[in-house]
């Protein structure tokens, strides 16, 4: 009898285990977002030939795709449908895991049918890994409140095209990869004209301080920050881009999160006495971390205290006609560059989203000077 009970118990446990594993697999599958159809060529509603090829593009590999007319071949995110297709109007139905879509076409006749082309909406651009999409639009740049300095005035409207910005400040570990791949930017090899003697001051050769791989790199000149950005196929943000990203979509607020500040929102005021790992504090509403405190951040522009008086309304860049002009010639530029955001040792006034500062591009700071990168939306 005991043997029979043990056998029965083992069967029940086995069934439960299989059920639980199956449920777990289904739950994991449920988390996978289905592919989305982005565009079709020719445009739905078009008149095509019987032997035409229809190409459909998804935002990612849709897996197996079935069609009700013709034959489908999938290569990555592209599906090619071949005929022949019968004369007259027909509906091409595509079915893939998690989605289905009907596309209407006409195979040429002597009297084409009047069918409005179907509009497939463009999807929002997908940000590269580790970056955040900042949407295009207008915002109020600068400040005229009681804490505002003269160089923050006048407050003015600026329109910025969409761009990407790093979620976090560039870390020691990331910068080490750069200097190992580019020996001319290493601490003991960098050209004197690109730094003021403090470059990577807290590093031992090519090694950053112990256990600080995820801390923001500091003691970095503008030249070195630019070189890193170019190496990773990015650039530094313009001052206007930086301020728009810092404000997180909020209007008329002092800081990236609102009008008050304390030690739970940012690393500042020597409260901790050192940098903290990136992403330690909550992000702003755009999903960007540490836009106030931790380390000051280099921007692309030249620093001009009176720039706001005559700043272009759309995509302003101080000291050049456009972004490319600076990126392509950065090693030859000597004018002061913009710094934003303040650092772990800064006072609350310096952490305001509108606060501006400028220094020599060779300046590497005194322990609270780093950067993050930006990138155009293609």
pLDDT at 241 over 70: yes
Distances (CA, A) of 216 to 36, 106, 192, 371: 37, 58, 23, 8
Complete domains list, the chain, with CATH: 37-107 (2.60.40.1220), 131-376 (3.90.1580.10)
Rounded Cα distance between 360 and 221, Å, is: 9
What's the pLDDT score for residue 104? 87
Rounded Cα distance between 75 and 364, Å, is: 48
Rounded Cα distance between 161 and 134, Å, is: 9
pLDDT at 30 over 90: no
What's the pLDDT score for residue 164? 98
**Residue 257 and residue 322 in contact, taking contact as beta carbons nearer than 8 Å:** no
- Nearest of 128, 168, 181 to residue 371 by alpha carbon: 168
pLDDT at 9 over 70: no
- Nearest of 152, 246, 165, 202 to residue 364 by alpha carbon: 202
Q: What is the dihedral of CA 354, 165, 281, 285, to 10 degrees?
A: 70
pLDDT digits (tens, 9 = 90+) for 104-150: 888 876 444 455 666 656 667 889 999 999 999 999 999 999 999 99
DSSP state of 294: S
What's the pLDDT score for residue 77? 86
Tokens of 272: 């901790």
**Residue 236 and residue 326 in contact, taking contact as beta carbons nearer than 8 Å:** no
What's the pLDDT score for residue 115? 55
Higher pLDDT, 173 or 76: 173
pLDDT at 18 over 80: no
**Residue 78 and residue 40 in contact, taking contact as beta carbons nearer than 8 Å:** no
**Residue 207 and residue 171 in contact, taking contact as beta carbons nearer than 8 Å:** no
pLDDT digits (tens, 9 = 90+) for 269-327: 999 999 999 999 999 999 999 999 999 999 999 999 999 999 999 999 999 999 999 99
Tokens of 103: 């596309």
What's the pLDDT score for residue 50? 87
Rounded Cα distance between 298 and 223, Å, is: 10
What integer is the mean pLDDT of 5-15?
Answer: 38
Instruction: Count CB neighbours of 279 within 10 A.
Output: 15
DSSP state of 313: S
Q: How many CA atoms lie within 13 A of 340 on its CB side?
A: 32
**Residue 136 and residue 124 in contact, taking contact as beta carbons nearer than 8 Å:** no
Helix (H) or strand (E) holding 189: none
**Residue 168 and residue 279 in contact, taking contact as beta carbons nearer than 8 Å:** yes
What proportion of the chain, given as a percentage, has pLDDT over 70? 88
pLDDT digits (tens, 9 = 90+) for 165-178: 999 999 999 999 99
Q: At what angle do helices 222-231 and 172-181 cross, to 10 degrees?
A: 80
Rounded Cα distance between 150 and 63, Å, is: 58
pLDDT digits (tens, 9 = 90+) for 150-162: 999 999 999 999 9
């Amino acid at each position: 009898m005991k043997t029979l009970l043990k056998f029965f118990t083992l069967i029940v446990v086995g069934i439960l285990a299989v059920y639980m594993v199956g449920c777990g697999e289904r739950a994991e599958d449920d988390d996978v977002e289905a592919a989305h159809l982005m565009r079709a060529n020719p445009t739905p509603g078009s008149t095509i030939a019987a032997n035409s090829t229809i190409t459909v593009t998804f935002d990612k590999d849709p897996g197996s795709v079935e069609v009700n007319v013709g034959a489908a071949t999938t290569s990555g995110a592209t599906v090619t449908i071949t005929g022949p297709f019968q004369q007259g109007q027909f509906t091409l139905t595509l079915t893939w895991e998690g989605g289905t879509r009907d596309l209407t076409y006409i195979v040429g006749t002597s009297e084409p049918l009047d069918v409005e082309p179907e509009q497939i909406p463009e999807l929002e651009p997908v940000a590269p890994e580790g970056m955040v999409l900042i949407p295009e639009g207008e915002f109020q740049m600068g400040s005229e409140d009681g804490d505002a300095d003269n160089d923050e005035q006048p407050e003015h409207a600026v329109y910025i095209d969409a761009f990407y910005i790093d979620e976090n400040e560039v870390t020691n570990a990331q910068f080490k990869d750069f200097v190992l791949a580019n020996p001319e930017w290493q601490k003991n090899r960098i050209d004197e004209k690109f730094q003021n003697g403090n470059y990577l001051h807290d590093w031992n050769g090519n090694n950053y301080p112990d256990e600080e791989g995820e801390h923001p790199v500091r003691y970095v000149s503008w030249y070195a920050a630019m070189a890193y950005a170019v190496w990773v196929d990015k650039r530094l943000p313009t001052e206007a881009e930086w301020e728009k990203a810092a404000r997180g979509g909020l209007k008329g607020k002092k800081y990236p999160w609102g009008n008050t500040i304390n030690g739970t929102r940012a690393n500042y005021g020597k409260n901790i006495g050192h940098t903290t790992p990136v992403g330690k504090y909550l992000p702003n509403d755009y999903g960007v971390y540490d836009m106030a405190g931790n380390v000051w951040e280099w921007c692309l522009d030249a620093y001009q205290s009176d720039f706001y008086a005559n700043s272009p309304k759309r995509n302003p860049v101080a000291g050049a006609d456009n972004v490319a002009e600076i990126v392509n010639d950065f090693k030859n530029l000597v004018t002061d560059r913009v710094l934003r955001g303040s650092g772990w040792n800064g006072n609350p006034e310096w952490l305001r989203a509108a606060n501006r500062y400028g220094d020599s591009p060779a300046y590497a700071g005194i322990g609270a000077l780093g950067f993050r990168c930006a990138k155009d939306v293609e």
